[in-house]
Every structure is written in C-alpha cells, then in structure tokens.
Amino acid sequence: MATRIIIDTDIGEDIDDILVTAFALNSPEFEVLAITTVDGDTQARSRIARRLAVAFGKPRIPVAAGFTHALPRGRREVRPGVGVTQGELAPDEGGLPPACELAADELIAELAVQHPGEVYALTIGAMTNIGQALVRFPETASNLRAVVSNGGTFAFVGRPAAIGWNLRYDPLAAGVVARSDGQWVLLPENATRFAGWQEKEVERLRGAGLPTTELLAKAIALWRKNKPDATKWPHVSDLNVFAYLMGGWLEVRRGRAGITVWPDRLADLTIEYADDGPHLLGGEVPRERGAALKDLFMERILAPPR
C-alpha cells in the first residue's frame, strides 16, 4: 500500500522542492494526499505546485496556500513574488485547477482526521504550517503518523549540531513540533549529498522530451537566472524525507532534537541520542548507496506520468 503523505513546501524557491515533489508524484511508493505551500508568496507557490500536479496527471490533488510569515505573526500581506524564483512557471491562474479553499494548516488537520495514524506530513520548507496546525488543531499531533522534516546539520558522531534553513526560518514552529506529543523525524540537510546532480543529469532531463521534463528543465533555468546564490548544479537536499519513507537508504536513531529560541541571536539546534528519546534522528545515505538513490530518482522523474 502506498504511503500517504502531505508535502509542505516552499516550492518555487530553491530547486530541490520542485524536483523531489515531481519524484513523489511519479513514485508508486507514495500517495500524495495534498501539497501545502509556506513562506512569502504562498499563492505563487500554490500555482507552481498545481501546475506540477497537472503535468503529472494529478489535477485533483488539493493544493493549499499557507502562512506567509513565521510564528507568531500569522498571515500578513506580502509583496507578490517574494521568495519565488520560478514564478514564470505559473504566473497566473490560467489553465490551473482551483486552489483548495482551506488554508494549509486546516487541510493538514482535516486529512489527519480523515486518515488517523496513516499520514506523514513532510516539511521541506519553513515549519510554520505544521506548527500552526498543532497549535490551532491540537488533535493533529496524535492523528498524524509522523512529521518528517528536512532541517539542521548534524551527525551521529563527530560534530555539533547546527540549525538548518528550514528550522531557522521559523524556529518557534520547529519548537512546537519538537515539544508536541506526535512523532517527529528530523533528517539532516546533507543526508542525500551523495545523490546530488551534475551536468549529465541536467542534460538527461533536457533531452527527455516529455512535457514534465520540459517543465522541470524550465524550472532549473529560472532558478539559475533568478536566484543569485544558486549552486552550479541542482542539489536534492529535500530528497531525504522520501528516502527515509522508502526505507533502507539511511539510518535513524532515537534521541531528542531541541530548539532554543534566543531573543537577540539565531536559534540553536541541539541533538542528543538516547534509546528512549521521543524523536527519530537521521544519518546520511552512504556514498556507496548515493549513486543508486540518484539512479532511482532520475528513473522516476524521467518516466512518463504514471
């Protein structure tokens, strides 16, 4: 049976969100129940997510725009396009299915109630939507099977933890998740570094000749054009949450992830390993398995929509 997931994403910002969402949409291991968007211009992000879902033959997947700012400020108006580098992929609503009428946190809570104990909420952007869901709808914590997050830099041995982008964008929301009664799986940002792309993967995508691969190739081009700090080749950091769910790719250990929010400086991430810890903390995909994971990733996004 396919694993039921909600993808909570800042799609349209860095390149990995759209690539790994495409991977999930075209993988039999996953049933994507919904996509929710977070941070900045969440309406523009919603349009990109809906165009991607349509391209992969899944126009009925609900896509809900979420919170534009971190806790505790809540929803506020933002300048159109803020945080979105691939906005030209879906500049308006033309040809798109309508967005979900529910807000992101409401949709997450509703799906958790409909499928108690079955749904994983995957956070591959700021954690505001899931944090709000747990605050506004407390039953969500027990109804979700787990929250699986990409965030932080840490290892089982050898170096201290550092807070990652997805946690630092909203450390209060991350702290809410860390302190909730639900299961939290936290995976390091570099977990899939050995599955990263190089020139040959980009060229394979460009040459595949499918509407889906043309859309992804355009996304890469826009990301390179519009994001000043874009890396030379697309990275796939967010692939870690899907690798975890497929099993066997990376090791996890029990422990505790703590978020300390300071009034005058960046929040801290602390990691402690213990057999009775409330959280599952991931390692990285070993080098020898990274190539196999990349092959699987490429196979799925280069395939016609299933």
pLDDT digits (tens, 9 = 90+) for 148-170: 999 999 988 777 899 999 999 99
What is the average per-residue pLDDT within 192-203? 96
Helices 211-226, 199-207: crossing angle, 10 deg rounding: 130
Query: Which are the contacts of 282, defined by CB distance < 8 A and separation ≥ 6?
Result: 185, 186, 187, 188, 191, 240, 244, 250, 251, 252
C-alpha–C-alpha distance, residues 282 and 192, integer Å: 11
252 pLDDT exceeds 70? yes
In DSSP terms, 178 is beta-bridged to none
| Number of C-beta neighbours around residue 99 at 10 A | 18
88-130 pLDDT, tens digit per residue, is 999 999 999 999 999 999 999 999 999 999 999 999 999 999 9
Does the pLDDT at position 31 exceed 80? yes
| Residue 73, pLDDT score | 72
Q: What's residue 18's pLDDT? A: 98
pLDDT for 298 equals: 98
**Backbone phi, then psi, for 269, in 5-degree steps?**
-110, 130
From the list 116, 169, 118, the residue with the least C-alpha distance to 9 is 169
Check whether 74 has a pLDDT greater than 70: no
SS3 content of the chain, % helix, strand, coil (to 5): 40, 20, 45
Average pLDDT of the segment spanning 46-65: 98
pTM confidence score: 0.97
Q: What's the average model confidence in pLDDT over 249-275?
A: 94
Dist. CA 230–CA 14, nearest whole Å: 8
Contact present, 220 and 202 (Cβ < 8 Å)? yes
Domains and CATH numbers, the chain: 3-302 (3.90.245.10)
